[in-house]
A and B are shown apart, each in its own frame.
Chain A
């Protein structure tokens, strides 16, 4: 019994039955496959989160966001600026209690250098309905390249608890056809 000491005193010399041995080998190989699948995806897959990150103080980051808003705002919505930065440029998105600032308008199929940081506590960037989820920290400027592939209006929901107004924290990314390829 499992509540009694091993019945064979030198239990570590007991041979292993074939069934268990085969299962252990399968389990091990499956682990190896899963391990290398992650590495494979870094080489051949398209969805890999960059770890390019810079320490930054929140005021400096907010200043960069404001500069971008000043330069590229195309309209306003609910009092928030909608910003349309040129493809390939640096896009600064700010998370703060309780908004994602500003609203963005991006072109489908173009790559952008996206920056994410917070002005106060931790937040969660959750792009919907695409369902991409990335943590946002104050003091860290996280940079990755993103290429929108679906047209229309997308929500950014905060999915890291950030205070009593957490559930009102929402942002928008509009994705439009490429300039010259239609309206």
Chain B
């Protein structure tokens, strides 16, 4: 089998690229972008409806669009892209052939068919149950069936990834331990298996229930297990986009991990503790014990948060150390100023890193605090938070790395270079606005998944403060910016992939400035250059974190006493 596998040598990284892997990475990435375009279009209509002055869609279409947006943007786009990342981090990074390409194609087609089935079910209008589909609201059987087929496809993709690791090890395609990027991808795949199994455990009975074959499904049990899918899949995203950060920093700057041990330890914390996060969604539920809530919502004792805080230092730290080793040693931040900012792969990566930490990360810990959750649960603060993690964090990281995949994997030159350079910034500004304004509105009590905060059709009226209306308007404006940034990404990606200039087999052409990987000086784990700039950034982050955390306890202390 290995004799028939065909490789080409990558002129940029020197890696041996397996043709099967390359083809599968391409198709999964293309599918991802198509579903991002669909999910993003629904997103814009949702945000414009929630802009009180615009109020675009009628209610039935609004709830339909919101269901479709959640499924396409949160699940389909991201998991297709993650499968591409898994194949890249195994076959390409390890110079290996892809194990069982036939199964990998099964993965692709199952995910595609599943995604289409669920979309059709939603568009038929009888499955507007939101992405979470909390029972006993019932969607059509096809809605659940599509998700199940999609999930099984993803599970097969994880299997191909694991098998490729085994093949690479046996065929000795690399020396020593797997690279950090592969280790991070392995973390993502392990959590993905747990995630998908949780999904199967709850969605298969729910599918049978929608067919009338199962009597009732307990609402609390559903929520507990469903969030084993829903939240854990976000942990897959975190592992995957942190790997992508390391990958981008390595290719563009030749950055190596400050310490293999620490970075791998941080990933390991994800594996051990992230799956407890289902609890974040049960803090305002009846019938769940307080000890259970505290233990699980804190990931035992914030040990997974600690993992992210570690990456928050080691990723920029690795960039700083590489830049300083190269001679950018003036002051605290010359290394950052002289980074390849005109390369959208770098700006996307670095903006994702900063926004994930400051916007998504801090708000997530606060939202997931047992008592503070009472003043935020199911308000629009919740989507505000996770647009900070999934949109400004994961999606932006994936967009950034696409500008590397186009030349490296698709072997095309990136088209519309100016547009590509603006794209991450525009998308970052839009995504940040969406997150912050939704969080602001949520703090003022605005409900999520709600068509009309004026209650015009209701028998009674409650008046939200004027500031809440302002926040929802600004959210709509931000969504327009993000949608523009998203459209630019789709245009650049689709244009380049199908119409971009084909690169010659031996052409080393990233299309944008990078510090050539080969020039990175060697430094050992404990002997890397000092990273004072990163220390300052991390200190600012920590102060913001602590202040915001205690400000919210202050807000909580002002609401009606409960016991």
Question: Which B-chain residue is minimally distant from A144 (CB atoms)?
Answer: B562
Bound-complex Cα distance A26 to B535 (A): 13
Given A1-B254, A2-B247, A17-B259: A27 touches B310 (CB 8 Å cut-off): yes
Bound-complex Cα distance A23 to B530 (A): 14
Stretch at the interface among B16-24, B343-351, B459-467, B477-485: B459-467
Bound-complex Cα distance A170 to B445 (A): 14
Question: Which A-chain residue is minimally distant from B449 (CB atoms)?
Answer: A161
Distance from A100 Cβ to chain B, minimum over Cβ atoms (Å): 10
Flag whether A95 is at the interface (Cβ < 8 A).
no
* CB-defined contacts of A121 to chain B, threshold 8 Å: 134, 136-137
Name the contact of A8 in the complex, choosing from B260, B369, B562 (C-beta under 8 A): B260
Flag whether B178 is at the interface (Cβ < 8 A).
yes
Question: Which A-chain residue is minimally distant from B309 (CB atoms)?
Answer: A27
Contact with B along A19-45 (1 / 0, CB 8 A): 110011011101110110111011001
Question: Which B-chain residue is minimally distant from A5 (CB atoms)?
Answer: B176
* CB-defined contacts of B531 to chain A, threshold 8 Å: 19
Distance from A68 Cβ to chain B, minimum over Cβ atoms (Å): 19
Flag whether B549 is at the interface (Cβ < 8 A).
yes
In the complex, the answer to whether A47 meets B462 with C-beta atoms within 8 Å is no
In the complex, the answer to whether B378 meets A35 with C-beta atoms within 8 Å is no
In the complex, the answer to whether B379 meets A126 with C-beta atoms within 8 Å is yes
**Total number of B residues with any Cβ neighbor in A under 8 Å:** 113
Distance from B500 Cβ to chain A, minimum over Cβ atoms (Å): 24
Flag whether B174 is at the interface (Cβ < 8 A).
yes
Given A2-B247, A163-B137, A170-B459: A27 touches B306 (CB 8 Å cut-off): yes
In the complex, the answer to whether A15 meets B526 with C-beta atoms within 8 Å is yes
In the complex, the answer to whether A31 meets B465 with C-beta atoms within 8 Å is no
Distance from A156 Cβ to chain B, minimum over Cβ atoms (Å): 8
* CB-defined contacts of B2 to chain A, threshold 8 Å: none
Bound-complex Cα distance A27 to B266 (A): 12
Name the contact of B284 in the complex, choosing from A45, A47, A134, A138 (C-beta under 8 A): A134
* CB-defined contacts of A163 to chain B, threshold 8 Å: 137
Question: Which B-chain residue is minimally distant from A116 (CB atoms)?
Answer: B286
* CB-defined contacts of B369 to chain A, threshold 8 Å: 34, 37-38
* CB-defined contacts of B526 to chain A, threshold 8 Å: 14-17
In the complex, the answer to whether B377 meets A135 with C-beta atoms within 8 Å is yes
* CB-defined contacts of A90 to chain B, threshold 8 Å: none
In the complex, the answer to whether B447 meets A158 with C-beta atoms within 8 Å is yes
Given A19-B535, A23-B309, A133-B374: A2 touches B249 (CB 8 Å cut-off): yes
Within 8 A of A (CB), among B503-530: 517, 520, 522, 524-528, 530
* CB-defined contacts of B419 to chain A, threshold 8 Å: none
Bound-complex Cα distance A165 to B128 (A): 12
Given A2-B249, A7-B256, A128-B464: A35 touches B563 (CB 8 Å cut-off): no
Question: Which B-chain residue is minimally distant from A80 (CB atoms)?
Answer: B459
Question: Which A-chain residue is minimally distant from B290 (CB atoms)?
Answer: A51
Bound-complex Cα distance A41 to B462 (A): 31
Given A148-B560, A161-B63: A34 touches B259 (CB 8 Å cut-off): no
* CB-defined contacts of B174 to chain A, threshold 8 Å: 5
Distance from A114 Cβ to chain B, minimum over Cβ atoms (Å): 9
Question: Which B-chain residue is minimally distant from A17 (CB atoms)?
Answer: B526
Within 8 A of B (CB), among A111-167: 116, 120-122, 124, 126-135, 137-142, 144-150, 155, 157-167
* CB-defined contacts of A35 to chain B, threshold 8 Å: 294, 298, 301-302
Question: Which A-chain residue is minimally distant from B380 (CB atoms)?
Answer: A159
In the complex, the answer to whether A20 meets B314 with C-beta atoms within 8 Å is yes
**Total number of A residues with any Cβ neighbor in B under 8 Å:** 90
Stretch at the interface among B77-85, B148-156, B551-559: B551-559
Given A17-B258, A140-B286, A157-B445: A122 touches B134 (CB 8 Å cut-off): yes
Distance from A73 Cβ to chain B, minimum over Cβ atoms (Å): 17
Question: Which B-chain residue is minimally distant from A36 (CB atoms)?
Answer: B301
* CB-defined contacts of B293 to chain A, threshold 8 Å: 51
* CB-defined contacts of B377 to chain A, threshold 8 Å: 124, 133-135, 159
Bound-complex Cα distance A158 to B447 (A): 8
Bound-complex Cα distance A131 to B455 (A): 17
In the complex, the answer to whether A133 meets B259 with C-beta atoms within 8 Å is no
* CB-defined contacts of A165 to chain B, threshold 8 Å: 457
Question: Which B-chain residue is minimally distant from A118 (CB atoms)?
Answer: B219
* CB-defined contacts of B260 to chain A, threshold 8 Å: 6, 8, 11-12, 14
In the complex, the answer to whether B257 meets A2 with C-beta atoms within 8 Å is yes
Bound-complex Cα distance A162 to B145 (A): 22
Distance from A161 Cβ to chain B, minimum over Cβ atoms (Å): 4
Flag whether B489 is at the interface (Cβ < 8 A).
no
In the complex, the answer to whether A3 meets B13 with C-beta atoms within 8 Å is yes
Bound-complex Cα distance A165 to B175 (A): 61
Question: Which B-chain residue is minimally distant from A129 (CB atoms)?
Answer: B445
Flag whether B163 is at the interface (Cβ < 8 A).
no
Bound-complex Cα distance A53 to B293 (A): 15
In the complex, the answer to whether B462 meets A132 with C-beta atoms within 8 Å is no
In the complex, the answer to whether A137 meets B178 with C-beta atoms within 8 Å is no
Bound-complex Cα distance A24 to B527 (A): 18
In the complex, the answer to whether B538 meets A23 with C-beta atoms within 8 Å is yes
Flag whether B180 is at the interface (Cβ < 8 A).
yes
In the complex, the answer to whether B134 meets A149 with C-beta atoms within 8 Å is no
Question: Which B-chain residue is minimally distant from A50 (CB atoms)?
Answer: B563
In the complex, the answer to whether A1 meets B560 with C-beta atoms within 8 Å is no
Flag whether A62 is at the interface (Cβ < 8 A).
no
Given A2-B181, A14-B525, A168-B458: A133 touches B136 (CB 8 Å cut-off): no
* CB-defined contacts of B559 to chain A, threshold 8 Å: 47, 130-132
Question: Which B-chain residue is minimally distant from A173 (CB atoms)?
Answer: B560
Q: Which residues of B contact A (CB under 8 A)?
A: 13, 15, 59-60, 63, 93, 128-130, 134, 136-137, 174-181, 218-220, 246-247, 249-251, 254-262, 283-290, 293-294, 298, 301-303, 305-306, 309-310, 313-314, 317-318, 365, 369-371, 373-379, 443-445, 447-453, 455, 457-462, 464-465, 517, 520, 522, 524-528, 530-531, 535, 538, 542, 545-546, 549, 553, 556-557, 559-563
Of the A-B pairs whose beta carbons lie under 8 Å apart in the complex, a sample of 17, sorted by A's number, is: A1-B255, A2-B255, A3-B251, A20-B314, A30-B542, A34-B369, A49-B283, A121-B136, A126-B445, A128-B464, A133-B377, A137-B287, A139-B219, A142-B287, A164-B59, A166-B63, A167-B457
Query: Given known contacts A31-B301, A37-B553, what 15 new A-B pairs fall within 8 Å (CB)?
Result: A4-B250, A14-B261, A35-B301, A39-B294, A47-B371, A47-B559, A130-B559, A131-B445, A133-B376, A135-B377, A161-B130, A161-B449, A164-B60, A167-B452, A171-B460
Top 6 nearest A-B pairs (CB, nearest first) are: A155-B462, A31-B302, A142-B286, A159-B447, A53-B287, A14-B525
Q: Which residues of A contact B (CB under 8 A)?
A: 1-9, 11-12, 14-17, 19-20, 23-24, 26-28, 30-32, 34-35, 37-39, 41-42, 45-51, 53, 77-80, 99, 116, 120-122, 124, 126-135, 137-142, 144-150, 155, 157-172
